[in-house]
Amino acid sequence: MPLYKICLLGDGGVGKTSLRERFLGKGFQSGYILTIGADFAVQNLDIDGIQYKFQIWDLAGQQRFSAVRALYYKGSHGAILVFDRTRPESLYNLENWKHELFLNVGREIPYIILGNKSDLENAIDSTEVERFVQKSENEVSDIQFKIKFLNTSAKSGLNVTEAFQTLGRSIKDYIIEYKKLKNR
């Protein structure tokens, strides 16, 4: 069974832990629970008839944990960058998260972007999100992979499983392309 190490990244309070808990089938808990350093979980998922094991690292979003976070990036196959649809600064801060991801992994890896809390009133215009996703895609210089964006809600479950399936497909395709290039 293929194993993919995934990092959940984004500012504190954007819903990374809630998304992970929903994906694990634990439902939704209202109230904010601070992740200290990182939290870890494993979940199996069927993608296109193949079972994959996801090792999910939920990294603390607060700046004071940045030194500790560096340890958890090593060996990552992909990442989920999460922003809160009600907090525009959390979208703009994804630039820093992308930089930290690639700096600590040592190369570009597939990632997707999630606009979480879509069940609440959005404070971010969709064109801003589209612009950010397009800019992110234009910045990818290694093996090209398409940056996917999904609106999610950990509360309602909207697109939570789909997010992990989408990232799993991106990682699988990336690995296939990478092997082709290495064999040339």
Q: pLDDT (tens digit, 9 = 90+) per residue, 75-111?
A: 999 999 999 999 999 999 999 999 999 999 999 999 9
Rg of the chain (C-alpha set): 15
State residue 31's pLDDT score. Answer: 58
Residue 29 CA to residue 160 CA, distance in Å, equals 15
State residue 144's pLDDT score. Answer: 67
Mean pLDDT of 52-71: 82
Instruction: Record the tokens describing residue 106, joined without a space.
Output: 């040592």
Instruction: Quickly state the pLDDT bin for 35 (edges 50, 70, 90).
Output: low
State residue 183's pLDDT score. Answer: 79
Domain ranges of the chain: 3-182
Mean pLDDT of 166-174: 95
Asked whether residue 48 carries a pLDDT value surpassing 60, the answer given is yes
**Helices 16-23 and 160-182, packing angle to 10 deg:** 90
Asked whether residue 53 carries a pLDDT value surpassing 80, the answer given is yes
State residue 95's pLDDT score. Answer: 96
Neighbours of 35 (CB within 10 A): 17
109-122 pLDDT, tens per residue? 999 999 999 999 99
Residue 75 CA to residue 71 CA, distance in Å, equals 10
Burial class (CB in 10 A: 0-12, 13-18, 19+), 108: middle
Strands 78-84 and 111-116: parallel
3-182 has which fold?
Rossmann fold (3.40.50)
Asked whether residue 30 carries a pLDDT value surpassing 70, the answer given is no
State residue 64's pLDDT score. Answer: 58
State residue 78's pLDDT score. Answer: 97
Nearest residue to 54 (alpha-carbon basis) of 22, 19, 24 = 24
Burial class (CB in 10 A: 0-12, 13-18, 19+), 42: exposed
